[in-house]
Structure 1
């Protein structure tokens, strides 16, 4: 069951207030903006493993929520949106805020960003469409769904018993046994030359979704297999684990990027990643291993989409790894025979250089503060089990590279669409979903300009969380490109200095300003001890290069090839 819903009140949903206030076990959170309410529901879904629910009015409430639902769609986050609509006898007659099928048509507006949308004009059909929407939302590709309920339907008496969703909707179990057997044979070398001993794993979001992190760790440890992750799956294997290579792709580590592109990988297991642009270093040709590429995903539509695969396994990652754990002795012997070689290989990987590019940045004493130093100090301040939500901007690159995540669901970011300001509101939803875990949001001054007002929501409900604003007085990533074009383009991307700590205090939160690196640690410790939200305004430099050099090079090579 969910225990929070998120909303912005308005006339078209007035009828829901008594039930929202009187339903045991449900706490209603009022956001500052409809996008904030939907982002909170998104963050709640990602952190809880359940789904998020939000209520807004039709018309302007829906259009304000479009970007939030788009981010949820591209990251397969299950969000249920219920909107209020004008009475059915107003439709098409010029009624105020008419967004019915005869007016603005909310259902059509949201159709590209939802898996299911329907305007329920009969109370007798409400239960049917509710169940259909929930099933679609939790399907193979999780996605937002939408029901529009006219005011006169909201007040109708409906006799429909509560039916919880079956548990398998949250963690579906299915597996192509024939393809799995082909994978086992390929790794065993049963039908060809010697087994591929230089075996690596790229773990994606599907590992987290299926609850496969323990099985992944057990399999990797049993056979000493190095593991890289996508940015979305950062932490599914603790990043201080000796078999962890870190993130591959955008803002990836040296060990992951150089290993998977080295040409040394003979076999690669891709678990739960669609191999999109950022997860493959701009569809790098060298990503494909020399002998065997196995791709495992619940969604058959993404398998082989960007790379020809040797074995396509439709199924969830947990079931796949469990099947490998039960594989015949010939498979066990083949992988055990490769352990000494993989240990030597891992030693050689580490000998090529430090895990991160420019690790000295995390210790920088420079002022303005280096973003890498701020990320490193925040990592030391937040307990090991703590959760970090990361917004969109240059700070995403610094966090992806310099932050270490130690478990699934401990690093959360909208990685595919990346709307600015998402993490501010999503962090509130995530903290309400997992109140027992310390939580911080890493955001920027550009993001604060877009959705910083949601700090008022955190203050209103006394949500204990840390908002760390890397205040570089610029739209960081855009500035780093624009400055090469001259002072005029650079000026378009600069932001006048704002005191975000004072802004936070004005909204009811605590607020601290940090201008020197040695003041970071005490500020973070103080902020984490506050019995409510705290904004830490970190004055950073905007000219520090982001740790994405391999990505930038791969992008340039792609453009040159084109």
Structure 2
């Protein structure tokens, strides 16, 4: 239950699962975070007051609703551009003009850092990948509940809850002059970042079509692999926890999509994977069928020699399957799936 919470996979031996459960009275509440230290907050506020072009980097500890609301208010008040890790995607809505993309995928980090005079790391976890240049060329201000990456010595560090830290900083920065970023340049970099991370091939167009065809609040999941970068860039998340991904685990997306359905049964869920990912999670197709989970599984199927047949896997598991070799056929299959409910696999075969 410790933050940041996320999907957890448990392997339980059959003999253990079959034993009688022993009822226990226990608490699953994590320990409360320490309140941000006043002196650390003063140093952080001074670093921000001295900066004219701060660059914000948001991590996984910005995914709570409370933290995301304060993060948006903070970015707009400065105002300052923000980049997020893949696991913090949606903490600031992707369409927001200050959202410059996902770290490591956007391709504009070097130019942003070169123009910034302070890097502000907000809610980053030490295990989240951040390009080294973000730490090596500019002073760093960090705040959040997690320890800093090994070897990083920031100009100021505020340990504690993200929302509480921003709330305290807001009071201290009330009279700070507005940041001096070139708005037109940020807009150019934002458009370039979008084009670099998504491209315009069939896969990117399919992801954008799926996002446009599904209602607000739809949750997207994606497997690690060839299409992860494309899906991450093309899928617009409007709120935190609307996009779930794994660092390097194939077979993550489908179980994560089923879990998302169980928690938010009123929402649409779209899972993006490839032949390797759907094969790794093949048993979960039966789970989706048994639960009648409203999950659309989009499989980018290369149809190469020896490649698993994702449509056969789906049908053998009791899940409807469609093939699509164009945007039009994909839209038709997606529309049928959304109208009728329940799980379905759409194999995208260029």
- TM-score, normalised to structure 2's length? 0.88
Displacement of 1:163: 5.0
Asked whether the 8 Å contact 1:226–1:346 carries over to 2, the reply is no
Secondary structure at the aligned position of 1:273 is classed as coil
Does 2:239 match 1:402? Answer: no
Other-structure match for 2:162: 317
Other-structure match for 1:391: 223
Asked whether the 8 Å contact 1:171–1:211 carries over to 2, the reply is no
Which consecutive residues of structure 1, in runs of 5 or more, have no partner in the other structure? 3-44, 62-82, 86-150, 189-194, 365-369, 474-493, 541-562
Does 2:35 match 1:174? Answer: yes
Other-structure match for 2:193: 355
Written as runs of structure 1 = structure 2, the 5 A alignment for 1:452-531 is 452-473=282-303, 496-531=306-341
Other-structure match for 1:56: 12
Other-structure match for 2:129: 279
Paired with 1:196 and 1:322, the residues of 2 have a C-alpha distance of 19
Does 2:208 match 1:376? Answer: yes
Paired with 1:199 and 1:155, the residues of 2 have a C-alpha distance of 53
Asked whether the 8 Å contact 1:298–1:316 carries over to 2, the reply is yes
Does 2:103 match 1:253? Answer: no
Q: Deviations over 1:411-448 (max 9, x none)?
A: 01122xx2211111221112101112111110100112
Structure 1 residues 223, 445: closer, same or farther in 2, change over 3 A? same
Structure 1 residues 297, 223: closer, same or farther in 2, change over 3 A? closer
Paired with 2:65 and 2:323, the residues of 1 have a C-alpha distance of 41
Paired with 2:267 and 2:122, the residues of 1 have a C-alpha distance of 27
Q: Decide which of 280, 295, 304 is 2:142's aligned counterpart.
A: 295
Instruction: Kindly name which structure, 1 or 2, has the bigger radius of gyration based on alpha carbons.
Output: 1
Structure 1 residues 306, 511: closer, same or farther in 2, change over 3 A? farther
Other-structure match for 2:349: 539
Displacement of 1:46: 2.5
Other-structure match for 1:338: 178
Paired with 1:351 and 1:399, the residues of 2 have a C-alpha distance of 21
Displacement of 1:386: 0.6
Other-structure match for 1:187: 48
Displacement of 1:228: 0.9
Structure 1 residues 288, 316: closer, same or farther in 2, change over 3 A? farther
Written as runs of structure 1 = structure 2, the 5 A alignment for 1:421-460 is 421-460=251-290
When you count helix as a share of all residues, which structure comes out higher?
A: 1
Q: Deviations over 1:490-529 (max 9, x none)?
A: xxxx653444233312211111100123322222222222
Written as runs of structure 1 = structure 2, the 5 A alignment for 1:225-240 is 225-240=80-95
Asked whether the 8 Å contact 1:237–1:244 carries over to 2, the reply is yes
Paired with 2:9 and 2:129, the residues of 1 have a C-alpha distance of 29
Paired with 2:34 and 2:266, the residues of 1 have a C-alpha distance of 29
Structure 1 residues 496, 373: closer, same or farther in 2, change over 3 A? farther
Paired with 1:235 and 1:187, the residues of 2 have a C-alpha distance of 24
Which consecutive residues of structure 2, in runs of 5 or more, have no partner in the other structure? none
Structure 1 residues 197, 307: closer, same or farther in 2, change over 3 A? same
Asked whether the 8 Å contact 1:297–1:316 carries over to 2, the reply is yes
Paired with 1:438 and 1:259, the residues of 2 have a C-alpha distance of 37
Paired with 1:155 and 1:387, the residues of 2 have a C-alpha distance of 34
Paired with 2:198 and 2:253, the residues of 1 have a C-alpha distance of 28
